[in-house]
Structure 1
């Protein structure tokens, strides 16, 4: 306590503004709280299950009790600080203040608010620091590639194995159209160029000639029809014009879903186009070998990987090899389930998983004189006694279970680890914290420089302006027809009027209370003016010009900081004006 008193005595004598705002103690408290949240975040992650327990790194804070604790800590600490801060007010008591003191005081308020509401960053840093101690990115990246290489065996979705998904080798990937009847030929399929008939259905494979489309766009070929996108051009009255057709007769058998068509990336984090190309080449070489031992070894590698990453599954190797169907050129048989089947589905689903086998049955030749029966049984070999025949029949050998492989949480795990080692700037949360800090600081600062009565009257005035604006929009909607531009323009004009009136009130020395109310409203109207002006400008441009407008492109990048700077500058001028206002008589 003696040390605290000594520090306070020194501050009040040498740095009264720092003493009055309790900056030293609030920063010290903020540092302690931030360190506590860092430790809490560090201890919250210990296993792979912990890392994958939240969809993203932000969820470790916002989807846990840490968020509520952080909010309550901020509220309690800031309320206690405000009580002590408002005890002394040199401005209201006409103590001599140096130029710039008021603005510096606002900056200190902002710093106190910002450091006491941003526990999220410390907690997240604790989480990512712990993840870095548990995992090595190079090892994780290697394992992601192993999972991607094994993904061709997962048999998760039949559509992933259709020929539309094939990306390798050239000329794939290709688009495809089909027709089930001959009378559709010439409508969906260009019969003057290569097409394929497979299983009583017709197919044509092609790529879109985007260069020709661009040329037609440039020449306004379809301008009269009001078409603005490539898809619409392709679906126009001359769709064949934009097709670059390929003859893929050598891949005809792949029209039926097949492992050769699989090109999907299972885990994308940290993988680039080179990794993707290498993976597709790997698939091709692996399947071309058609070696059962190679496939067994690859499945063993996956079993080890699944054990390492707690991937739950029940697939027996022999059953999995059968489903890969390498003896029948890898034609797709059936999906492996994403998760364990529920009991009420179990018996029904079991019937879908079986091997088709053949066996020899001994069938007694019936005493019959029918010629058809005689012809039928004559094609089978007879037993030694001549009374029976040996008939080969197909039967189903059921797996007896529903195979599944549950990857739930694995993608989230790799995502959280990836963004731990390759963090992105969380601009949204930073913007929110900055705006909240300015708003709270400004409210306290306005109370410090005026009084609670004027603050409450400012709130009432803001409500009146809002009601008036809504009435104007309602009238415009009733008599002019609703247009979003009108609503934005009305809001923009009202905010501009507030700022203009506040300046006129100060220059003409209107009633002191009225000036205080107008200036309080103006401090919140200024950033709204910038935002509404940009939105109104965007609406005036319309689509598609707004997407290429240089100013809007610049504003998307720097607009937030531009608005904040203008807002801070307006607060600086408010601090200068309020000194003159304070000297007026009531």
Structure 2
């Protein structure tokens, strides 16, 4: 083995001295082995389904201590690499070098640091591979479909089964049902259950162009039930005519027929229900004769279709079909190790009420506490809340765990560890590579003075900012911001200009400090320019009298590429170092003093 290492080093030294000097080949080999280990570690992390019960397991890398293991290994690996690499410094020993060799050294540093710090990627791709193989899409989608069909039998909350939630058949999905409690009787047609009243209304609409949204504060637009937002319009829905519910609703007793909620919406669900295009008004400005107005974001097509599917299952009243669904659901729940104490037969006896499938028993979301005692008679519960509490069984099912399982499976499959974290790793590698490059080129003394100089300049700019805003005293903050930004821009321009224009007229150490700041700070300098241009564009846009007619959109330079500016600046930073290597060589050739 020693002979192989020696021969390889000799081969690299004679033909590729930069690769030999930076130990690139050996570092990449070690990094590959470590990436393979982290990949295997990630693959076996989620073998226990109970880990999927927690929300956002995708971030388990940061929760189970792997991030600390990664950090320790990366630090030790990079420190050992630096120790071996610093044994030979071409600049320090005045070896002949070229611009391309200088830039090649920087690229080697960049590749080594990225490969020795980004074990996060291998770990998370191991997670993805395990989830993809253990929980294939076809099986998961089938489980989600079964769960959505069975969900109405998980009678956790009585509010999911009241008459105001029913969305099928017609006219339920064309009417607005207002739920309220009142102590003042009226003669208007309604349904009643305990202390709850349910009135049904037709709806009328009023439209408003998006460009005139500022008009919605007018009194004529108040009192809406909900708003539907389209590309160009805001459609306001208002209660219109009250409808007698007796022809289409027998009673307001909670029933499985009223359930219209979807337990879990899959990422693969192609139904466009426009849920995100609705805004709901929690309070009504039209009536003041009741104390409670429900908040009902359930007018979407999804609620209607789910209610229709639930009604079809109940109308068939096929006991074997219902028992089969319950059995399949318990089977998949056991596979995911969901906490529950249900059996299909016991559960069927709880929910099967052929008389309109009224909800007479409720299931707990978690096990009953042995010390769970509640004085219901002296409580402040409403009548409908007491109704549920009195019918609460000892059966339980933790639906949050199952929702988290489905969410985590789809979230991990849809995740992209590389693109989710690439910005951090590429800029981390860039900054550390720049620091090492600066040390190799200008030496420790210049590097330390550069750090001190940056600290002093930062402190000076901070104090100057505080002084400017103190003098302005809030009269025009934008002027103060522009003054600071332009001052920083001028300062950065001077630092960049010194090594190129005044390299022979200023002390070598001062030039070295400017060289170091330029190496690491050029991307920030460009970002500052982009930020200033964007601020000016925003100011011009908001000053335009036609600003509101453009739907509050201002197209700026920052918006042109968005997050892709990170990649652009990174590439520009690397290209800058390629051309700046000549300036570095010229600086090194200067006489001391």
Give the distance between the partners of 2:585 and 2:128, measured in 1 at CA: 48
Quote the residue 1:100 is aligned against.
100
Quote the residue 2:507 is aligned against.
511
Contact 2:50 2:338 in 1 (8 A): no
Give the distance between the partners of 1:465 and 1:415, measured in 2 at CA: 48
Q: Once the two structures are superposed, what CA deviation does each residue of 1:404-440 show, in whole Å capped at 9, x if it has no partner?
A: 1123432333233334544446533111011100000
Aligned partner of residue 209 in structure 1, secondary structure: strand
Contact 1:213 1:242 in 2 (8 A): no
CA apart distance, 1:488: 4.9
TM-score of the two chains, using structure 2 as the length reference: 0.77
Give the distance between the partners of 1:351 and 1:294, measured in 2 at CA: 43
CA apart distance, 1:272: 1.2
Over 3 Å counting, the alpha-carbon distance change for 1:285 and 1:242 in structure 2 is closer
Quote the residue 1:305 is aligned against.
332
Unaligned runs of at least 5 residues, structure 2: 228-233, 273-301, 380-389
Q: Are residues 1:528 and 2:528 paired?
A: no
- RMSD (Å) for aligned C-alpha atoms: 4.0
User: Residues 59-208 of structure 1: matches in 2 within 5 Å?
Assistant: 59-163=59-163, 165-169=165-169, 172=173, 175-177=176-178, 196-199=189-192, 201=197, 203-206=199-202
Please identify the structure whose Cα radius of gyration is greater.
1
CA apart distance, 1:280: 4.3
CA apart distance, 1:552: 4.0
Over 3 Å counting, the alpha-carbon distance change for 1:97 and 1:184 in structure 2 is farther
Aligned partner of residue 213 in structure 1, secondary structure: strand
Contact 2:70 2:117 in 1 (8 A): yes
Quote the residue 1:584 is aligned against.
590
Give the distance between the partners of 2:344 and 2:376, measured in 1 at CA: 19
Over 3 Å counting, the alpha-carbon distance change for 1:290 and 1:344 in structure 2 is same
Quote the residue 1:565 is aligned against.
571
Give the distance between the partners of 1:535 and 1:498, measured in 2 at CA: 16
Contact 2:106 2:434 in 1 (8 A): yes
Give the distance between the partners of 1:304 and 1:151, measured in 2 at CA: 15
Quote the residue 2:238 is aligned against.
243
Give the distance between the partners of 1:305 and 1:45, measured in 2 at CA: 17
Aligned partner of residue 403 in structure 1, secondary structure: strand
Over 3 Å counting, the alpha-carbon distance change for 1:257 and 1:484 in structure 2 is farther
Give the distance between the partners of 1:231 and 1:472, measured in 2 at CA: 48
Q: Are residues 1:415 and 2:442 paired?
A: no
Q: Are residues 1:481 and 2:476 paired?
A: no
Q: Once the two structures are superposed, what CA deviation does each residue of 1:310-354 show, in whole Å capped at 9, x if it has no partner?
A: 3332346676456547345344456422111222215769999xx
CA apart distance, 1:105: 1.2
CA apart distance, 1:571: 2.3
Q: Are residues 1:266 and 2:267 paired?
A: no
Give the distance between the partners of 1:232 and 1:555, measured in 2 at CA: 41
Over 3 Å counting, the alpha-carbon distance change for 1:147 and 1:114 in structure 2 is same
Aligned partner of residue 415 in structure 1, secondary structure: helix
CA apart distance, 1:126: 2.1
Over 3 Å counting, the alpha-carbon distance change for 1:427 and 1:489 in structure 2 is farther
Contact 1:350 1:400 in 2 (8 A): no
Contact 1:57 1:416 in 2 (8 A): yes
User: Residues 420-435 of structure 1: matches in 2 within 5 Å?
Assistant: 420-424=412-416, 426-435=418-427
Quote the residue 1:496 is aligned against.
489
User: Residues 308-327 of structure 1: matches in 2 within 5 Å?
Assistant: 308-315=335-342, 320-321=347-348, 324=351, 326-327=353-354
Give the distance between the partners of 2:17 and 2:37, measured in 1 at CA: 30
Give the distance between the partners of 2:89 and 2:350, measured in 1 at CA: 80
User: Residues 42-57 of structure 1: matches in 2 within 5 Å?
Assistant: 42-50=43-51, 52=52, 55-56=55-56
Over 3 Å counting, the alpha-carbon distance change for 1:117 and 1:179 in structure 2 is closer
Give the distance between the partners of 1:439 and 1:159, measured in 2 at CA: 55
Give the distance between the partners of 1:184 and 1:517, measured in 2 at CA: 83
Task: After superposing the two structures, state which structure 1 stretch, 112-121 or 418-427, moved more.
Answer: 418-427
Contact 1:152 1:259 in 2 (8 A): yes
- Highest relative contact order (Cα 8 Å, sep 6+), 1 or 2? 2
Task: After superposing the two structures, state which structure 1 stretch, 342-351 or 294-303, moved more.
Answer: 342-351
Quote the residue 1:281 is aligned against.
308
Give the distance between the partners of 1:430 and 1:343, measured in 2 at CA: 50
Over 3 Å counting, the alpha-carbon distance change for 1:533 and 1:16 in structure 2 is same
Aligned partner of residue 40 in structure 1, secondary structure: helix
Give the distance between the partners of 2:471 and 2:441, measured in 1 at CA: 44
User: Residues 446-461 of structure 1: matches in 2 within 5 Å?
Assistant: 446-461=438-453
Contact 2:175 2:202 in 1 (8 A): yes
Contact 2:99 2:585 in 1 (8 A): no
CA apart distance, 1:58: 3.5
Quote the residue 1:213 is aligned against.
208
Q: Are residues 1:31 and 2:32 paired?
A: yes
Over 3 Å counting, the alpha-carbon distance change for 1:127 and 1:235 in structure 2 is closer
Q: Are residues 1:444 and 2:436 paired?
A: yes
CA apart distance, 1:2: 1.2
Q: Are residues 1:17 and 2:40 paired?
A: no
Quote the residue 1:8 is aligned against.
9
Unaligned runs of at least 5 residues, structure 1: 186-190, 353-397
Over 3 Å counting, the alpha-carbon distance change for 1:423 and 1:179 in structure 2 is closer
Give the distance between the partners of 2:19 and 2:141, measured in 1 at CA: 50
